[in-house]
């Protein structure tokens, strides 16, 4: 059940708001616009612009959309202010006695949870502990009676353009399955290898991107579908994101990206999905679309959008202090570096997961490198569900920054390090013992949705070799298995879970 987080203020109508605002500032030292550890005070406005009541009760909420849905399900009439403002998002309703109530969702950049990494619960929707969250409230406790009579009023903007830019209608599907060993169209080639690939029986699939194609590998079916796409107009990084029946290729530059529905020709991304950079969302079929670049001095905003381009839920806001690059955290949100370490950024704020750097990401764990006051550095495994941290033995070389991913079962991490010849080499880190072994395979490295991926059952590790070939590794023996099929040159790889 959604609950309010605290009292945001009491609002009074004022015939002369400027005079009353100055009175409180001059006589009581209370400013009309201020920030008190998350409590936001707004400037007064004329009485005729305010609500019909002489006063309004305001409550702070973490997820305005969820609270509004809950209230409407209970029969309440709730008006949501469509404006997205620096102060946050607003809604209003009336209680059974016709008293006006305002709900305020402060912007996430004003809330940085978990000042200490030991307190983090990065996948948990619960707020931090009372001790962690309310230090500021205790400090301002003597002011609460004053805050309840502060002269404030909120001006609601009448309308906001509803951003529901949609993709063009999908063309009629092109059959993706043939009865022969290979079928071809102008843009799609389907090949049946006649047997299960690597003995896989589960329904998960490999999806890969090459210079001029997207490849779908259905291992349990023994089927490969190659769809032609135009070459990207960028030589920089790109996101490869798998949806329930589609795959998206989106460069981080402002150049065209492409969408490929299963069995259909590629289409250029349009509307809100056609610009900005994209990261996987927390739900299948949703993505984060970013505008503004980390380190540019401006707040970076990532909106969660459906494939139609329509906004879904609350955005992620990254403060100007975030350093590039922003990367996927492997669980539907993003990682950002800033003062004091590395953070997971979500709609409800930033949560610091380490004072150091994140080396590998997975759906259930993170692997970080942290250093003490003597600059001795070591690996730390962080459980994303509980926030528990477990140091691994030994020291870590910090002259190179590994990029990698963690098996879903948390047994090992696969990281890519640059060797003495600056070749990216694949290594395996045992997350129980901390021992690292180099596999001697030169691969394209990176975080999730880049070049190294574990299967959902943790039994296989896939990577893209620097030659562009697909590398399949059995995680029981860590031996490379030969592929029973021919593929075009590849550069990016991701996995679509079953169902």
Residues of the chain with CATH 3.10.180.10: 6-147
Residues 370 and 380: beta-carbon distance below 8 Å: yes
Domain 182-496, CATH: 2.130.10.10
Q: Give percent above pLDDT 90 in the chain.
A: 27
Mean pLDDT, all residues of the chain: 75
Greater pLDDT, 391 or 393: 391
Query: What integer pLDDT is reported at residue 485 of this predicted model?
Result: 79
pLDDT band, residue 130 (cuts 50/70/90): very low
Q: What is the pLDDT of residues 78-113, one digit of tens each?
A: 999 887 666 678 899 887 777 788 888 876 544 454
pLDDT at 245: 94
Segments of the chain assigned to CATH 2.130.10.10: 182-496
CATH number listed for the domain at residues 6-147: 3.10.180.10
- pLDDT tens figures, 479-495: 998 877 788 999 889 99
Quote the pLDDT of residue 264.
94
Local confidence band at 473 (pLDDT 50, 70, 90 cut-offs) = very high
Average pLDDT value for residue range 374-391: 88
Structure tokens at 25: 């500032």
Please tell me the predicted confidence (pLDDT) of residue 182: 52
**pTM, full prediction:** 0.66
User: Can you give the pLDDT at residue 447?
Assistant: 43
Per-residue pLDDT of 408-435, as tens digits, reads: 999 999 988 877 667 788 889 999 988 8
| Size of the chain in residues | 499
Q: Is the pLDDT of residue 268 over 90?
A: yes
Burial pattern 182-207, b for ≥16 Cβ within 10 A else e, equals ebeeeebbbbbbeeebeebeeebbbb
Cα angle value 150/154/156 (rounded, 5°): 170
What's the rounded mean pLDDT across residues 234-240?
80
Q: Higher confidence at residue 166 or residue 315?
A: 315
Contact 46, 88 (CB under 8 A): no
Lowest mean pLDDT across 25-34, 132-141, 176-185, 360-369? 132-141
* Mean pLDDT score, 160-174: 41
342-364 mean pLDDT: 90
> For 2-22, what is each residue's pLDDT tens digit?
666 656 555 555 666 667 666
Cα separations in angstroms, 95 against 50, 56, 65, 77, 92: 18, 11, 18, 10, 10
Q: Looking at the predicted structure, is the pLDDT value of residue 119 above 60? A: no
Q: Give 224's pLDDT tier (boundaries 50, 70, 90).
A: very high
Per-residue confidence (pLDDT) for residue 497, from 0 to 100: 92
**pLDDT tens sequence across 436-457:** 898 888 887 554 445 789 999 9
Cis peptide before 325 (omega within 30 of 0): yes
- Which residue bears the tokens 């953070």? 343
> Across-strand partners of 346?
349
User: Would the pLDDT of 42 be above 80?
Assistant: no
Q: What is the pLDDT of residue 95?
A: 79
Question: Using alpha carbons only, how large is the chain's radius of gyration in Å?
Answer: 26
| pLDDT value at 50 more than 70 | no
pLDDT tens-digit series, residues 314-343: 899 888 888 877 888 888 999 988 888 899
Smallest CA-to-CA distance from 206 within 198, 216, 196 is with 216
Report pLDDT for 140: 39
pLDDT tens-digit series, residues 168-215: 444 444 433 333 345 556 789 999 888 888 889 999 999 999 889 999
Residue 340 has what pLDDT? 84
Question: Is the pLDDT confidence value at 125 over 80?
Answer: no
């Amino acid at each position: 059940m959604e609950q309010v987080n605290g009292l945001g203020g009491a609002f009074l109508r004022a015939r002369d708001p400027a005079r009353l605002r100055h009175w409180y500032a001059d006589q009581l030292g209370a400013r009309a616009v201020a920030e008190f550890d998350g409590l936001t005070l707004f400037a007064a406005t004329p009485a005729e612009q305010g609500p019909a009541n002489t006063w309004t009760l305001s409550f702070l909420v973490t997820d305005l959309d969820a609270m509004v849905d809950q209230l409407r399900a209970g029969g309440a009439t709730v008006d949501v202010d469509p404006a997205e403002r620096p102060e946050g998002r607003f809604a209003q309703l009336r209680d059974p006695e016709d008293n006006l109530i305002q709900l305020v969702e402060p912007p996430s950049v004003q809330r940085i949870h978990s000042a200490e990494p030991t307190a983090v619960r990065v996948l948990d929707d619960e707020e931090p502990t009372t001790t962690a969250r309310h230090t500021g409230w205790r400090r301002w406790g003597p002011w609460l009676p004053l805050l309840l009579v502060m002269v404030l009023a909120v001006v609601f903007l009448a309308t906001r353009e509803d951003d529901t830019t949609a993709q063009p209608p999908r063309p009629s599907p092109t059959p993706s399955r043939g009865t022969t060993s290979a079928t071809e169209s102008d843009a799609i080639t389907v090949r049946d290898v006649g047997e299960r690939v690597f003995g896989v029986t589960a329904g998960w699939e490999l999806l890969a991107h090459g210079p001029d194609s997207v490849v779908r590998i259905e291992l349990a079916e023994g089927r490969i579908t190659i769809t032609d796409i135009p070459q990207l107009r960028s030589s920089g990084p790109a996101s490869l994101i798998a949806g329930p029946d589609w795959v998206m290729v989106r460069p981080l530059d402002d150049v065209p990206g492409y969408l490929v529905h299963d069995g259909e020709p590629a289409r250029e991304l349009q509307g809100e999905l056609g610009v900005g950079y994209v990261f996987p969302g927390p739900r299948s079929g949703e993505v984060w679309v970013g505008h503004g670049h980390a380190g540019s001095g401006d707040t970076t905003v990532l909106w969660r959008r459906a494939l139609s381009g329509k906004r879904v839920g609350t955005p992620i806001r990254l403060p100007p202090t975030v350093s590039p690059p922003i990367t996927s955290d492997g669980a539907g949100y993003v990682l950002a570096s800033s003062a004091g370490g590395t953070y997971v950024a979500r709609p409800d704020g930033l949560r610091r997961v380490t004072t150091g750097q994140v080396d590998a990401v997975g759906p259930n764990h993170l692997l970080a490198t942290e250093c003490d006051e003597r600059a001795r550095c070591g690996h730390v495994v962080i459980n994303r569900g509980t926030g528990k941290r477990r140091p691994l033995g030994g020291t870590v070389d910090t002259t190179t920054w590994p990029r990698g991913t963690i098996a879903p079962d948390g047994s090992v991490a696969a990281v890519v390090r640059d060797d003495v010849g600056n070749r990216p080499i694949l290594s395996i880190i045992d997350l129980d013992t901390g021992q690292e072994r180099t596999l001697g395979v030169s691969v394209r490295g990176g975080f999730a949705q880049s070049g190294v991926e574990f299967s959902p059952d943790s039994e296989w590790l896939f990577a893209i070799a620097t030659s562009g070939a697909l590398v399949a590794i059995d995680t029981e023996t860590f031996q490379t298995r030969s592929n029973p099929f021919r593929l075009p040159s590849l550069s990016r790889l991701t996995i679509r879970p079953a169902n």
